[in-house]
Structure 1
Amino acid sequence: MITGAAYVSALAMWAGQAEESGPRVRELRTFIMGHFGPDLYRFAVAILAVSVVMGALLGLVARFLVACRDRMARRRVRSPYGLALESFCVVAALHTAWVAWAMARRPALYAKSFYIQGGLRRLVQIVVCDVLGPTGVTLIGFALLLVYLAGPRAQWSFWPGRLRRAIGVPGAACIAVLAGFLFGLSRPQPPELSFPASPAPASGQKPVNILLLAADSLRADRFNARTMPYMTQLAEHATVFEKAYVSVPRTFPSWTSWLTGRSPHHHGIVTMFPRWEDRAKDFDAAPSRFRRAGYRTMVVTDFVGDIFSRIDLGFSEVDAPAFDVVELLRESMTQRETPLLPLLHTRIGRRLLPIMHEVNPAADPELLVDEVLETIDRGPRDQPFFMTVFFGTSHFPYPAPAPFHKRFTSPDYRGPYKYSKPVELDLGAKENDEDIAQIRNLYDGAVASVDQAFARILEELRKRNLAERTIVVLLGDHGEQLFEFGRNHGHGDHLFGDKQTHVPLVIYDPRVNVGRRVSRIVRDVDLVPTLYELANLAQPPVSEPLDGRSLAPALTGGDLAPTLAYSETEIWFSEEVSPLSADGLRIPYPDVEQITEVDDLHHSEMVMRKEMMPTIVASKHRMARDERFKLVYMPTRKGARYMLFDTLADPEELHDVSAEHPEETARLGAELRAYILRDPNLTMRNGVAVPRDAVSSARPEVSGLAGTTFHAAVLPP
């Protein structure tokens, strides 16, 4: 045990020192340690403790294997040094095998330490992940274990008898069972979905459960049999809304709209870094109303759902990671600890170091499903629940587990995105066609892994006799741009094309159980009133109306009135947002590091600088669309610019047809300006949306970061 603890601890300390160097890095490190040193030192001690536990476990197993080998070889006397040396070698071998097996199952988690480093490390990961895979690593490891236990080759003929003497028949049986268990872990069985042939009987005695199954960055065009085969089975018994749009294609404001039924200007969350005063209020969200109606309200998520720990939407049980400066630093420290990842990336490991929930490449759909089922089983079976499950595997870096990481990718690809699209958006080189194809295929594999996780949850609900009274909603918080037509990668930067704002929306009500497709435009704000009607909950008072309308009639074949979808961009992370900056289509403001600050009064969270909020809000691009035309409004230094797209003739929105359709431009422009003016903080000046306070107090001599940027760049002459 001591040998194992010393070995793993030494590896962990060595890995923890693998940091970037340079004057700027040293300066940043000095600043961080000066402000957060005590927290990070305590976390370093926790990492050391985990390494000791992991090493002691390996040491215990190694000592048992050495003892078994000695008994089979009838070795009576051992030198202490020889025993320590052999134990050390066995510990090293066991640890190497564990890392290889974990790497084969979760390649994205190890890519930064192996593949990205190039050379021998790159070759090792390719062999482990692409040639052997989890099954190959398991079989080779078990074969090497048998070879070790058999001893020198001259004694192999005596191995069966010695094995029986060493561990007996029960021990041999245990080894066989262990081998089968490990082999089964490397070959997970896909779930089997089944749905009742007829609708479930309506029950006036038991309220229905509500289950929201969501995936980050889930595009509507990926809802198909290729990438989501299980959920397309669900769609055959559900209502599919083919034209569902979100108000803001970023997670924080989007989820606030999904769960409140209100637009961003109404609920006030308009960026991913809202200030404390914008969050510390009663949002009258759906979870709150369901909780008051006697429901358990729960949210379970991974790194993409840290918003739920930063805002109170009424969930009584929140299983979501934190998000603040200290957590980000802990996350960085954890990702460097490659020797510990095989243990940390397990259910036990996540309990030892909960920060693993925040590690992006560790977004594991199977582990998240386990947490979902644990949460469901903790509560009473007769109490209805309102549950949100939010998966992050489909968010970049798209860390799909095996075998999904290579389901759609080319085995010959050797570029920087072999196993993931790193969170670091710039690797120093522009993506070529092969890189782009690889990134898209990684995304598709990640979506497929989430699809299977969705299916497993539904299967487990059926086993628990909960399926017949659970309404299931499938959705995405926003879509994703994947380099289509030179529009780069990500979400929230622009509104060209529907890839970022168009998401799947599927509602399965077992009391209906009829497959339908609805082609009318629907919006994120429509979900909450729909759920209130389906669950027979009271709507908010007239004084605080929702911005959406119920979609419940569509579930039984009713028609929906035509409506418009509205959306707006979020903050820009960099001053250079191609193609917007190159074409003069954006109001420039500083990079994200300069427009945010640390809120020391509230858990060291990152928030928007208060003086920057007028600039951020006024610089947003906004759009309004019907079932054919889409109008995009863009404030620029020279005033407002509008582009109109015929989405039926030009679905990729490459051609501005505002000149050919002036009447549509005028109609949608009037609707869009009316929508913008619903924000009490905005007004229009010469066709540009600007904050009311800025108009009343604008002076040429205004100084300061926000004042200079805003008055010089946003206010038209």
Structure 2
Amino acid sequence: MGPNQAPLFPIRLFKISLYYSVFFYLFFLLFNTSFTIMGVDVGDFLKQYLGAFFGVYVTTTIKVFAVSLFLHTCLFSLLYLLFRFWEKEKTSWLLLVGMVFGIECFALFQSMILFPQIYGEFFFFRYPSFAPFLYFLTDHISPIVPSFVLASVVLVFFGTLIRQVYRHKTKESFFAIVHVLLLGLFHMHGLYWLGLVYFGILLWQGNRYQNVHIRTYGLVIILLLVFYLFPNLWSGISSFRFSKEEGKPPIFILSADSLRYDKIGKQIDGISITPNIDLFKADAFQFHDHHTTIPRTFPSWTDTLTGKYAMEHKIRDMFPSPEEKKRIGSASFPTIQQILKKIGYDHFAIGSFAADIFPRANFGFDEVYAPNFNARIMTVQRTAETQILLLPFLVDSWFSGGMYLKEMDGLSTWGNGDRLLKRFRTLVKERKGSPYTITYFSSVIHFPYTPAYPHYKRYTNPNYYGKYKYLKFVDPTDSSLPNEKEISQIRGLFDSAVYAFDEEFGELVSSLKEQGIYDDAIIILTADHGEALYEDIHGQGHGEHLRGESVTHVPFMIKFPKSSKLPVTNEIQKDFFGITTSVDLVPTLMDYFEIPLKSEYPGKSLLTVLGEKDWKENRFVYAETGIWFSDVGDHFFQKQRIPYPNILSLHQVVPEEDYQIMITDPIYRETIAFSKHRSIQNSNYKLIYIPTREGVKFELYDRIKDPLNQINLYPNHPMASKMKEVLYQTVLTWETASLAGEYLIPSSLSDINENL
């Protein structure tokens, strides 16, 4: 060690950390890299834009490696500090490497038990021979065991540090405290670049920390402790800025992707899988026959928040073009957030991976606490996922980490809702009963159905050992039907995910009660769409077809403030059985706040039927399919549609739009719109319009007697002509479509002359 080297962080130690980081980074990059996402090979797709995207790959590699280097350097630094306090600073590099590797392995074991879904591809697609080890961990080892080992290491370290300071009270001891506190702050907030700069300063400054007075160290330690407490202190102080306003209650739209109506109150072994939602029903109006307008997340939320149909605002799939996105939040299609902004409301969105729609368009939120989705972020995720020893620190499973790469927030396999709840509680604590809205969107029920420990065990078969043990891998090109045991396991995963969301929901409601604002708040529970789970020939997923009740039928409940003028007492009828739709939300809230409608809306205010059981008139609601992701397969809907290319061939990465993935070709966009299946339904019947190359086909089903839609009543049923007329009139009105024979020809975006 040179004369000017820092005794607590010698160059030798940094070299060991660097070599260790390079070795494992390259090792996992070579042996754990895959162009398969959930079993779908996207290698050819990536090659299409590899050249133009090369800079993103380089920066991604540097970013992920920098995180790895910082974390490894922290571990080596802290272990070396421990040995130095034991007066064994000449410890062999092999011992240091072995201890760091051991700590990371225990962190990995704990993470694998908590979130086995994150490691699903590694164990089921890349190295399936290792799967029994994952089974052993999740079946027989509690996460408490590796946590105890890791906690013991931490306790030994801090015990030694406190003992050193107490016994010696030297500058070196106080510098060690500052060093540990700084590394802790960097780790908790994911400040890896600042951490690497700090290590560089240590190497540069050497032992000059000896020139700092002990009293100065004391002040620095106090300052650092304040930084640890700062988020909570700031939240408490900031809350004084906001106050309750009469007639402007906080509004909470609490939702889960893919939550089916029939799962609310479902009994398994005589016990409901949604106990917290069941309790909430006593305080809320429940609309039992509520349907989404389009069973895909982006267009469904756009319909819900604008109150207009996708066929009018043109957001009809998950990959809207720049021209289509600009229509959201325009003068013609304001969201309810933008409307309420004019009367003093602030708006927030909180969500996990499926909430990536909210940062991608102008929905009117002041802050969005949700991941984005674009090719750059996918690249970061795929690169980080190769580094299996790094993953536990990136997904918040050990020692308050998880802030290093915000892109990891969008992992579809990370079903832990704790991070969402933390953001929700912080906002509620700060804003209390002031005018604001929070749209909370959980993705734990969305495929691949990934509830964290212990929920993934709740309703699944403990004796099942196969690729669906922890999650449902999704391949839209695969139409093969799982066997009966696999279907049971997949349904068990789905029910377990529903239970996990119900626990989240219970925590959300408890937070509102703790802050004393539950009674005075508007609380809405709903979902963007449902999910088919191999009922009849319906397959698994959503958006491909409109048969059955599972895909469009979702829960919808509203709890109004006790102080409102509405009939909210327990004595009044709170169960409404008439058919309702997601575009009813905007008219309902505008009616509540007595905001006049500036244009015609297809939905209705539900305030007019509070206390009733059904509509006085025969109401019809509209729905349409989403985009088909694959153009192959033996699914029934593949045989019933106008074909267009696979989604991997259709979409483009648009660098000008932050590398978002879009379908920009106007010909394909018009083809997709033209090819959609459409439906109209009332409380008793559903008519489905199906354009094919051989002509338009119609299917009419009795929703009550035939909920799986197996017996086509068209054209002989008396309702056939009436419902066909209503469907055509609805589309011609709201899409300004035209007719060519029985085909509905959608209006093109280029044909719409509108000042947006």
Q: Deviations over 1:308-352 (max 9, x none)?
A: 112112111122222222222222222222211111112965432
AA in 2 matched with 1:15? F
Distance in 1 of aligned mates of 2:314 and 2:424: 30
- Out of 649, 654, 660, which is 2:710 matched to? 654
After superposition, where does 1:90-239 map in structure 2 within 5 Å? 90-118=99-127, 121-139=130-148, 205-224=246-265, 226-239=272-285
Please report how far the alpha carbon of residue 632 of structure 1 lies from its aligned counterpart in structure 2 after TM superposition: 1.0
Contact 1:399 1:446 (8 Å CA) reproduced: yes
Secondary structure of 2:657's aligned partner: coil
Q: 1:218 to 1:164 in 2, by over 3 A?
A: closer
- Residue 80 of structure 2 is matched in structure 1 by 63
Q: 1:646 to 1:559 in 2, by over 3 A?
A: closer
Please report how far the alpha carbon of residue 453 of structure 1 lies from its aligned counterpart in structure 2 after TM superposition: 0.9
- Residue 577 of structure 2 is matched in structure 1 by 519
- Residue 40 of structure 1 is matched in structure 2 by 57
Distance in 2 of aligned mates of 1:566 and 1:610: 25
Distance in 2 of aligned mates of 1:53 and 1:292: 46
Please report how far the alpha carbon of residue 411 of structure 1 lies from its aligned counterpart in structure 2 after TM superposition: 1.0
AA in 2 matched with 1:83? S
AA in 1 matched with 2:590? Y
- Out of 2, 7, 10, which is 2:23 matched to? 10
- Out of 4, 15, 19, which is 2:33 matched to? 19
After superposition, where does 1:292-691 map in structure 2 within 5 Å? 292-346=342-396, 349-378=401-430, 380-381=431-432, 383-425=434-476, 430-511=481-562, 512=568, 514=570, 516-534=574-592, 536-541=593-598, 544-557=599-612, 560-561=615-616, 562-576=618-632, 578-580=634-636, 584-608=639-663, 609-661=665-717, 663-691=718-746
Distance in 1 of aligned mates of 2:737 and 2:60: 45
Q: Deviations over 1:46-68 (max 9, x none)?
A: 11111122212322443355567
Please report how far the alpha carbon of residue 280 of structure 1 lies from its aligned counterpart in structure 2 after TM superposition: 0.9
Contact 1:223 1:504 (8 Å CA) reproduced: yes
Contact 2:292 2:582 (8 Å CA) reproduced: yes
Distance in 1 of aligned mates of 2:51 and 2:274: 48
Distance in 2 of aligned mates of 1:213 and 1:21: 35
Please report how far the alpha carbon of residue 295 of structure 1 lies from its aligned counterpart in structure 2 after TM superposition: 0.8
Structure 1, unaligned runs of 5 or more? 150-159, 170-202, 697-717
AA in 2 matched with 1:318? V
Please report how far the alpha carbon of residue 251 of structure 1 lies from its aligned counterpart in structure 2 after TM superposition: 0.5
Distance in 2 of aligned mates of 1:426 and 1:618: 22
Distance in 2 of aligned mates of 1:45 and 1:343: 17
1:243 aligned onto 2:289: yes
TM-score by length of 2: 0.78
Contact 1:115 1:125 (8 Å CA) reproduced: no
- Residue 183 of structure 1 is matched in structure 2 by none
Q: 1:234 to 1:381 in 2, by over 3 A?
A: closer
Structure 2, unaligned runs of 5 or more? 1-12, 168-243, 267-271, 563-567, 752-756
1:87 aligned onto 2:100: no
Q: 1:242 to 1:373 in 2, by over 3 A?
A: same
Number of equivalenced pairs: 635
Please report how far the alpha carbon of residue 34 of structure 1 lies from its aligned counterpart in structure 2 after TM superposition: 1.4
Q: 1:653 to 1:343 in 2, by over 3 A?
A: same
Q: Deviations over 1:371-413 (max 9, x none)?
A: 22233345x4453111101111111111110011111111111
AA in 1 matched with 2:354? V
- Out of 239, 253, 273, which is 2:299 matched to? 253
Distance in 2 of aligned mates of 1:50 and 1:441: 37
Q: 1:298 to 1:6 in 2, by over 3 A?
A: same
Distance in 1 of aligned mates of 2:686 and 2:151: 60
- Residue 208 of structure 2 is matched in structure 1 by none
Distance in 1 of aligned mates of 2:356 and 2:387: 22
1:284 aligned onto 2:340: no
Please report how far the alpha carbon of residue 120 of structure 1 lies from its aligned counterpart in structure 2 after TM superposition: 5.4
1:271 aligned onto 2:317: yes
Distance in 2 of aligned mates of 1:548 and 1:680: 15
Distance in 2 of aligned mates of 1:531 and 1:372: 22
Q: 1:312 to 1:303 in 2, by over 3 A?
A: same
- Out of 50, 57, 60, which is 2:67 matched to? 50
Q: 1:620 to 1:367 in 2, by over 3 A?
A: same
Q: Deviations over 1:455-507 (max 9, x none)?
A: 11111111122212211101110011112112221111111111111101111
Q: Deviations over 1:565-609 (max 9, x none)?
A: 211111111122543356x41111111123323334322322222
Secondary structure of 2:300's aligned partner: helix
Q: 1:513 to 1:327 in 2, by over 3 A?
A: farther
Contact 1:644 1:665 (8 Å CA) reproduced: yes
Distance in 2 of aligned mates of 1:474 and 1:680: 29
Secondary structure of 2:368's aligned partner: strand
Contact 2:350 2:439 (8 Å CA) reproduced: yes
Identity %: 27
Distance in 2 of aligned mates of 1:518 and 1:25: 46
Please report how far the alpha carbon of residue 557 of structure 1 lies from its aligned counterpart in structure 2 after TM superposition: 4.7
AA in 2 matched with 1:446? A
AA in 2 matched with 1:362? W
Contact 1:105 1:134 (8 Å CA) reproduced: yes
AA in 2 matched with 1:244? H
Distance in 2 of aligned mates of 1:401 and 1:21: 25
Q: 1:615 to 1:21 in 2, by over 3 A?
A: closer
Please report how far the alpha carbon of residue 115 of structure 1 lies from its aligned counterpart in structure 2 after TM superposition: 4.7
Contact 2:696 2:743 (8 Å CA) reproduced: yes
Q: 1:386 to 1:165 in 2, by over 3 A?
A: closer
Distance in 1 of aligned mates of 2:339 and 2:154: 57
Distance in 1 of aligned mates of 2:588 and 2:148: 52
Q: Deviations over 1:135-186 (max 9, x none)?
A: 343346668999x99xxxxxxxxxx9x99989999xxxxxxxxxxxxxxxxx
Please report how far the alpha carbon of residue 670 of structure 1 lies from its aligned counterpart in structure 2 after TM superposition: 0.8
Aligned CA-pair RMSD: 3.1
